[in-house]
Amino acid sequence: MKARVHVMLKNGVLDPQGEAVRHALGAMGFDGVNGVRQGKVVELDLADGSTEADVEQMCEKLLANTVIESYKVELL
């Protein structure tokens, strides 16, 4: 089984990487970009019998800092 985890900063948390990307896009002539939020994607190749609950535990313990980040698990 495969799983994909999308991790993003929560709304209201300052995103300096996203702001740097927005600024760089503006400097390149892409003036229509008003905001950018940067995140990460983690793809997991899991053993048979693994569950979504297992992936949720991985997120809670390691893959996401749940104080400032939210995550979404997608089973593939």
pLDDT tens track of the chain, all 76 residues?
999 999 999 999 999 999 999 999 999 999 999 999 999 999 999 999 999 999 999 999 999 999 999 999 999 9
Q: Measure CA of the first residue to CA of the last residue in the chain; give whole Å.
A: 7
Residue-level pLDDT at 25: 97
**HEC sequence for 19-53:** HHHHHHHHHCCCCCCCCCCCEEEEEEECCCCCCHH
Q: Is domain 2-75 given the CATH code 3.30.1280.10 in the classification?
A: yes
pTM of the predicted model, to two decimals?
Answer: 0.86
Residue indicated by tokens 């008003």: 34
